[in-house]
Amino acid sequence: MRRMLIAAFCLSFFSLVLPCSGAQTPTSKSLQIYFIDVEGGQSTLVVSPSGESLLIDTGWPGSEGRDADRIMAAAHQAGITQIDYVLITHYHRDHVGGVPQLVDGIKVGTFVDHGPNLEDSAVTRTDYAAYEKAIAGHAHVVVKPGWGLPIKGIEVHVLSAAGDHITSPLPGAGTANLYCGSEPAAAVDDSENARSVGVLITYGKFRFLDLGDLTKQKELELACPNNLLGTVDLFLVTHHGADLSNSKALDWALHPRVAVIDNGPRKGSSPAAWQIVHDSPGLEDLWQLHYAEESDKAHNVADERIANVKENCEGKYLKVVAQSDGTFTLTNGRTGEQKTYSKK
Ligand SMILES: [Zn+2]
Ligand SMILES: [Zn+2]
């Protein structure tokens, strides 16, 4: 907040005549994305260049507020004191579970989701009820495919929600997908995963895709016979890198430059899905939130691209700072090491 005030002050009084040294931090005109370690759930904090924020999912409940605490630590790092939008992709515990503890700890503006729970299971009904209770009194928006969110400086395109999805291609997308021919048919999924809210977030030329836990049947509806999504710079590997998601026809057609897996030490990042992402044409690097204990060394990236190498970890994040020309830098929160991916 202080940085924003200084920036506003400089803009009003000095910007026409003087460069305002000190106010322009390297991230002040950048999109920031924190992949927060919630031990195999999802929690992704997006802070737009204007300082507005979107949190996609909240991790797990319990553990004495561990995941809400990690989200608040990332918010603090990002220089924000409230979260403007919290988007819940679907009502599985590893995504929606952290909401009650989060609203106890930090101010949240608007909750965004796909509408009522659509999964016929006791645990999901329980978690949805806890969510409804926790968001009472907050602004609440139910989104549909094709909608956006009004966040200044970036565009948030809703691609899927409640089992529906966009049916016409995004601008520049829609070409025939050569990988569809060899893709096996996908099973019908009537769990909440298939109802995930998926979003593409763009900042100028930079494109980041997060499909929540969307499973193969819906992935293929977006990817085949024509790829409705186009290509992306940064891909949050769907469903923590599980085999129920990550059809080759989608992951390869996306042509991600960099992929991040939000796996836990013993959740997600299955060897088969890991290999599909790893072999994706044009991939420059794959990063993981955790070393996958149940995979072998050959199905884990090198330690320098893993945020948490020990099962009993400190909950380190991976952070991306992106520029509007499509260049972005990834920082390993454990080591502080950075790698920049220049726009080609
Ligand atoms: Zn999940
Ligand atoms: Zn799920």
Asked whether residue 19 carries a pLDDT value surpassing 60, the answer given is no
Q: Which ligand is nearest to the CA of 119?
A: 2
- Look up residue 119 and give its two tokens: 């999964």
Q: Is 85 within 8 Å of 143 (Cβ atoms)?
A: no
pLDDT tens digits, 201-243: 999 999 999 999 999 999 999 999 999 999 999 999 999 999 9
Say what the pLDDT of residue 26 is: 45
Among 330, 307, 204, 321, CA closest to 258 = 330
Say what the pLDDT of residue 28 is: 62
Could you tell me the end-to-end alpha-carbon distance of the chain, in angstroms, rounded to an integer? 34
With a pLDDT cut of 70, the percent of the chain lying above it is 92
Mean pLDDT of the chain: 92
Q: Is 82 within 8 Å of 107 (Cβ atoms)?
A: yes
Q: Which CATH architecture has domain 26-333?
A: 4-Layer Sandwich (3.60)
Give 315 Cα–ligand 2 centroid separation in angstroms: 21
Asked whether residue 20 carries a pLDDT value surpassing 60, the answer given is no
Q: Which ligand is nearest to the CA of 95?
A: 1
Break the chain into its structural domains and give their ranges.
26-333
Q: Which ligand is nearest to the CA of 41?
A: 1
Give 18 Cα–ligand 1 centroid separation in angstroms: 49
Say what the pLDDT of residue 7 is: 34
Say what the pLDDT of residue 276 is: 98
To the question of pTM greater than 0.85 for the whole model, the response is yes
Give 90 Cα–ligand 2 centroid separation in angstroms: 7
Give 24 Cα–ligand 1 centroid separation in angstroms: 37
Q: Which ligand is nearest to the CA of 59?
A: 1
Q: How confident is the model at residue 1 (pLDDT cuts 50, 70, 90)?
A: very low
Give 41 Cα–ligand 2 centroid separation in angstroms: 8
Among 77, 103, 76, CA closest to 88 = 103
Give 227 Cα–ligand 2 centroid separation in angstroms: 24
Asked whether residue 289 carries a pLDDT value surpassing 70, the answer given is yes
Give 289 Cα–ligand 1 centroid separation in angstroms: 14
d(C-alpha 88, C-alpha 35), whole Å: 15
What is the average pLDDT across 153-171?
Answer: 97
Residue written as tokens 């769990």? 191
pLDDT tens digits, 300-327: 999 999 999 999 999 999 999 999 999 9
Q: How confident is the model at residue 5 (pLDDT cuts 50, 70, 90)?
A: very low
pLDDT tens digits, 55-93: 999 999 999 999 999 999 999 999 999 999 999 999 999
Q: How confident is the model at residue 29 (pLDDT cuts 50, 70, 90)?
A: confident
Give 88 Cα–ligand 1 centroid separation in angstroms: 11
Give 91 Cα–ligand 2 centroid separation in angstroms: 7
Give 133 Cα–ligand 1 centroid separation in angstroms: 21
d(C-alpha 60, C-alpha 64), whole Å: 11
d(C-alpha 318, C-alpha 231), whole Å: 22
Give 95 Cα–ligand 2 centroid separation in angstroms: 7
Q: How confident is the model at residue 193 (pLDDT cuts 50, 70, 90)?
A: very high
